[in-house]
Structure 1
Amino acid sequence: MPKRPRVDKQKLKLEAEEAFKKKESKYKEHLTSDRELKLLNDLQKKGTLSDKVSSLMLKIQKSFISGKFCDFASLEVLMHMARKKSRHHSFAALEGLKELFFENLLPKHPLKYINDLEIKKVPGGLSKLHLEDKLKHKYSEFINILKTHTIDTVDFFKTGSIKILAELAKKEEMQEYILECIVNKLGDPNKAIPTAVILECNHLVWRNKGLMEIMLKTISRFVSKANVSTSARFYAIVLMNSFKLTPTDQTSLQLLIQTLLRLFPIVLQETRVSGNKAVSLLLKALNKNFPLFTNKNSYQNFFKDEINEIYKLTHSGNTNIQIEALRFIYQSEQAQGFVSDRYYRSLYEFILPLPCLRNITTKALSLLFDTLIMSLKDDSNISRVKAFVKRLLQVCLISEPAFILASLMFVSNLSKSQKSLVQLLEVASEDEEEIYEDVPDSDSEGGRPEKKEKSQVKHSKYDPLKREPKFSGAEHSGLFELSALLEHPHPTVKKWAGIILENQEIDYQGDPLLDFTLINFLDRFEYRNPKKGLLNKLEGKKIRMSLIKDAVTSKEFRDQEDGQVREDEMFFYKYFKLRPEKKKEEEEEDEEFGSVEEEDDEFADFDGLDYNDDQELDEEDEESGGKARKKHKKSVFMDADEFYSKEN
C-alpha cells in the first residue's frame, strides 16, 4: 500500500489561522452596522458588573451561532475578569464562562489541537480547525484559572470553584484532569472543603453513571501518592464508602476493592499511631461492596498475608472496628469455602462482655445481630450454634430490654433454619456425669490397667466459660435462661420468652433495638402525633416507633382492641380508656351532691348557728351513715386494674 503523505502541521496551522482571520474581519465589519452589538458594547463600557458580564456573553453567543466563528476578543475579556483579585468580579466572570463553555462553546465530540490531527484532508474547512484549536487552548486556560481559585484563602470561593469544576466534569473535554483537580482537594486542611468535594462527587456519579470508573481510577492514583496526608486518605475512604454500587458494576467494584485493600496496610499502620476512624470506615466499605463482587477468589493472597492483622482488630478496644473486622473475616473465609473455628471463637468471645460496653451504639448492635444470623444460620456444627444461643441469653439476664428483645427475635429467626434448637427446649436437666471410652490396649493380657486418653474424655456437662464454643457441651443443657426471662419486669420480654418456650415464632415488624429503648418509652409521655410526611422523608431507614405511631391520647389509640395494644403500652391504654368514664362519674357525683359553689353557700349560711345546732347536724349525719358527705375518690390506676381484671 502506498504511504499516506504526511501533513505539514506548521503550514496547516498558519493556513487555518489565516482563514479564521478573514472571518474575523468580516465579523468586525458586521459589528459596526449591527445596532444590537452597538448596544452591547455600550453596556460593556458603562453598565454594572452583571451588565458587563451579560453583554460579553451575548456577544460571544451571537458570534457562535453558526459554530464556525467565535468572538475570542470578548472571551479574553471575560478570562481577564476571572483572573482578578476581586473575588466578586472574578466569581461573576467564572459563572459566565462556565455557562458559555457548558451550553454553547464545547461540542459533543472532544476538541483537538491541530498538532494532534492525523488527516490528509481537512474536514469542515481550515477556519474550523483553528476555531477548535483555539477553543481547546482557552478551555484549558479556564480550567487552570479554576484550579488556582481552589487554593484560595476564602472557603466560599474555593467551594464555588469546586462546584463549577464538578459541573464541567459532565462534559468529556478534559474530564480526567478536572476530576483530578476536584479529588486533590480531599487533602485540604479545612474540613469543609473535603466535605464539599465528597458531596459534589456523589452528585456527579449519581447523575452520570459512566463517570464511576474514571472517578475510582482518579481516587486510586490520588491515595497512591507518597505525599498524601492521613486526613486526605481518610476522606478518600469516606468518599469511596459513600458510593452506591450494584452487582452489575463489576469493573467499578473491582477498582474499589483493589484500592481499599491496597490502603489497608497503610491505614492499619497509621491507626496504631493516630486513631482508628479510617480503618473502621475502610472495613465498612469492604463489607458493603465485597459481597457484590463475583470474583472474590482473586484476593486470596491478600487474605493469607493480612488475615492475622485483621484478627488482631477483633480484639481492639473499639466496638465498631471489632464488628466490622468479624464481618469481613466471615465474608472472606466464606468466599474460600470454609469458615474457620478461629472466627467462631473470636465471635463467641466478643459476645460475653457486651453488657459492660456502655458506649456501644444501636447501629453497632444491629450489625452484630446481622453478623450472628449470617454466621450461624448455615453452620453445620449444632453444638456450636447452641453454645452461641445460650451465651447470648445469659448476657440478656443482665442487659436492657431493647437488647433482650432483639436477642429473643434473633433466637426465633435462627430456629427457622436451625431446627435442632427445639431440642434445647425439651431438655429438663443437665447430666453432670463424665463418660469415658475404653481405649484398646495391646498389653491388656499382661494385666496392665487400661489407659484413658485425655483427648478422648467426653464431657456431658455444660461449661459456659469454655473458650471453644463447639466443645462447651451446650447440647446437654436446656435453654433455662428463658425461664428466668419469664420473670422479667418488662411485659414484652415475658411474652416473647413464653412464645419461644412454646416453640412458636415471634411476629414483630419493627426493630426492637429502637422500639423498646428508654427514649422511645419517654417519647410516648409527650402525647404528640407523628409528623406528616416523616415516613416518606425517611423511606428505607429504620425509625423508632414513637415517631410514627399515633399519640396515646388520640382516639385511634383508645379505639384499638386489647390484642392490638403492645404490652408495654397497656398502661396508657387502660388509663386513657377509663379516663372518660371516670370523668363522667365525677360529673354525675357533682350533680347529685351539688357543685362546690353551692356547698360554700351552705357553709356561709351556718354563720349564727350555736353549738347545739351544730351538734344536732353532726348527729343527723352519723345516723344517715355519712351519705351527705362527698364520696372519697379512688385512684384512676385502681379503676384501671379493676377494669383489666373484669376484661380478663
Structure 2
Amino acid sequence: SFIIGSIVEMGPPQGKQQGVRSLLSKDDPSIWYEAASTLPKVIVLSKSKVPDNDIYEERRQKAERLLESETAAFSSYKQRHGSEYKWLQQAHQTGTTADKIAANSLLVQESAVANIKSLDTLVTWAARIKGGKEVVRQAMEALQELFVTVLLPDRELLFFEQQPFGAPLPEGRDGDRILLYWLVEDNVKRRYAQFIAALDEHSRGDLDFLKDRALKTMSQLLVKKPEQQVVLLTSVVNKLGDPSRQIASKAGYMLSKLVEEHPDRKVAVVREVERFIFRPNLKDRARYYAVIFLNQLTLGRRQSDGGAALARQLLDLYFTLFKMVVRG
C-alpha cells in the first residue's frame, strides 16, 4: 500500500492563513463526504429538475473560487506547520516514482478537497499506455485504496449539475461549504470514471500482468462501492472471453465472489452474463467460462437471492443455449 498513514493536523484551522481564508475546521471529519453529511440538508422547493442556467453558472463559479481558496489555504498552512510537507515537496521534485505515488496518495488521503491535482496525477499515471508498466500497476493500487477508503461514499455520486439547484442554500459558511462539497463530489465522480476507463483499457491490453491487476482492481471496486457498478460489471464479465485461460477463469472466480458478497446482485449479474453468452461471433471457449460461472451459482427461495424467477431465467438461458449449439 502506498498510503502509509495519516498526517497529524488534518488541515488548516478555520480562519485566515496568511490572508487565505479556509472554510474548513480541523474539527470537521477528514473524509469529504462525512464532513458534507454534517451540513444542513438542502430541501428542494421546486419540482423542476433542470437547473436555471444563471443560477448554475453563478454557483459553479463560486464553488470553483471556494475550491481554489481552500487549496491555497491548505498549502499555506502546511508550509508553515506540516513537518512532513517538506518531504512531500521533495518527493514531488526529486523522489523516485514510488515516492511520488506515495506523496500524492498522502496528500489526497489528508485532504481530497485541497488536492484534486494530486488525484489527477495518479489517474494520469494509471492511464499510461506507453512507458513503464510498473508505474501503472503502482498507481492502480494506490488509487484503488484511495477510492475505497477516503473518496467514495456508499452511494452513487452526483455531478454538480445534478444537485438541487431549485433549493435555497443556507446563508454564510454552511452555504459555501455545501457548494464546495458539491464541486468536490463532481470532481471525484469524474476522476473515478476516468480511472475506470483506464482499467478497462488495460484489461484489454497485451500484458497479462496488467490485465490481471486491472481485473482484480475492477472486481474489488465492484464489490466495495456502488459508483460505476454497471460499467464495472460489464468490464469484468467481458473478461470471461479473454484469450488467456487464466484471466478468463479468474473473471469467473471474481464474479462468484461478487454474488457471494452481494446476493442481491445475482439477477443483474446473470442478466449481464446472458447478454455476453448470446453476443454474435463469441468464441465457444468464452461461453464455456460463462456457463461454468452460472453453474456455480447458489439458488435460494429468498427474493434477495433471485428466488424462483432466477431459477426460471437460468433454465430458459440453458435451453436457448442448447438449441443454439445443436443448430451449430
Q: Which TM-score bucket, shorter chain as reference?
A: 0.7 to 0.9
- Aligned residue pairs total 268
Alignment partner of 1:163 is 2:207? no
Distance 1:225 1:80 in 2: 33
The ranges of structure 1 where at least 4 consecutive aligned residues each deviate by more than 4 angstroms after the TM superposition are: 2-6
**How far apart, in 1, do the equivalents of 2:308 and 2:149 lie?**
33
Following superposition, the deviation at residue 11 of structure 1 comes to: 3.4
Shift of 1:260: 4.2
Partners of 1:221 and 1:189 in 2: CA distance = 19
Tell me the residue number matched to 1:79. 123
Deviation at 1:79, TM superposition (A): 1.5
C-alpha separation between the residues in 1 aligned to 2:277 and 2:310?
13
Deviation at 1:3, TM superposition (A): 5.6
Partner residue in 2 for 1:244 = 298
The answer for unaligned runs of 5 or more in structure 2 is 1-44, 170-174
Cα pair 1:20 1:126 within 8 Å, conserved: no
Change (3 A) 1:268 1:199: same
Whether the 8 Å contact between 1:240 and 1:256 is mirrored in structure 2 is: no
Give the deviation of 1:25 after TM superposition.
2.0
Quick one: distance in 2 between partners of 1:256 and 1:143?
32
CA distance, structure 2, for counterparts of residue 246 and residue 173 of structure 1:
27
Q: How far off is 1:214 after superposition?
A: 2.5
Listed one character per residue, the Cα deviations across residues 185-216 of structure 1 (whole Å, up to 9, x for unaligned) are 11222222210101111122212323323322
Letter in 2 for 1:46: T
Give 1:104 deviation, angstroms: 0.8
Rounded Cα–Cα distance in structure 1 between residues aligned with 2:190 and 2:164: 19
Residue among 209, 223, 227 paired with 2:277: 223
The structure with the larger Rg is 1
SS of structure 2 residue aligned to 1:160: helix
Residues 126 and 137 in structure 2, CA contact (< 8 A), matched pair in contact too: yes
Q: Does 1:264 align with 2:311?
A: no
Residue 190 of structure 2 aligns with an amino acid whose one-letter code is H
Once residues 23 and 169 of structure 1 are traced to their aligned partners in structure 2, the CA distance between those partners, rounded to angstroms, is 32
Deviation track 1:258-305 (CA, whole Å, cap 9, x = no partner) reads 2441352343332464xxxxxxxxxxxxxxxxxxxxxxxxxxxxxxxx
What amino acid is the match of 2:125?
Answer: M
Matched, 1:21 2:74: no
What TM-score does the superposition give when structure 1 sets the normalisation length? Answer: 0.39
What does residue 49 of structure 1 align with?
A: 97
Superposed, 1:566-577 pairs within 5 Å as none
Q: Which structure 2 residues correspond to residues 233-382 of structure 1 after superposition, within 5 A?
A: 233-249=287-303, 251=306, 253-271=308-326, 273=328
**8 Å CA contact 1:43, 1:55 repeated in 2:** yes
Question: 1:191 is matched with which residue?
Answer: 245
TM-score by length of 2: 0.74
CA distance in 2, matches of 1:44, 1:240: 48
Q: What RMSD over aligned residues (CA atoms) do the two structures have, in Å?
A: 2.3
1:144 to 2:197 alignment? yes
Pick closer, same or farther for the CA change 1:56–1:180 going to 2, 3 Å: same
Provide the C-alpha distance between the structure 2 equivalents of 1:70 and 1:252, rounded to a whole number of angstroms: 47
State the Cα distance separating 1:112 from its structure 2 match.
0.2
CA pair 144-235 structure 1, distance change in 2 beyond 3 A: same
Residue in 1 that maps onto 2:106: 58
* Offset, 1:21: 1.7
Q: How far apart, CA to CA, are the structure 1 residues paired with 2:83 and 2:236? A: 43
Aligned-residue offset at 1:31: 3.6
Alpha-carbon distance between aligned partners in 1 of 2:161 and 2:283, rounded to the nearest angstrom: 39
For 2:307 and 2:136, how far apart are their aligned partners in 1?
Answer: 38
Change in Cα spacing, 1:256 to 1:98, as seen in structure 2 (3 Å) is: farther
Check 1:200–1:266 CA distance in 2 against 1; reply closer, same or farther (3 A cut): closer
What is the one-letter code of the residue matched to 2:145?
E
Superposition deviation, residue 241 in structure 1: 0.6
Deviation at 1:159, TM superposition (A): 1.3
Aligned pair 1:102/2:148, yes or no?
yes
- Aligned with residue 212 of structure 1, among 266, 275, 280: 266
Partner letter of residue 164 of structure 1? T
CA distance in 1, matches of 2:120, 2:159: 19
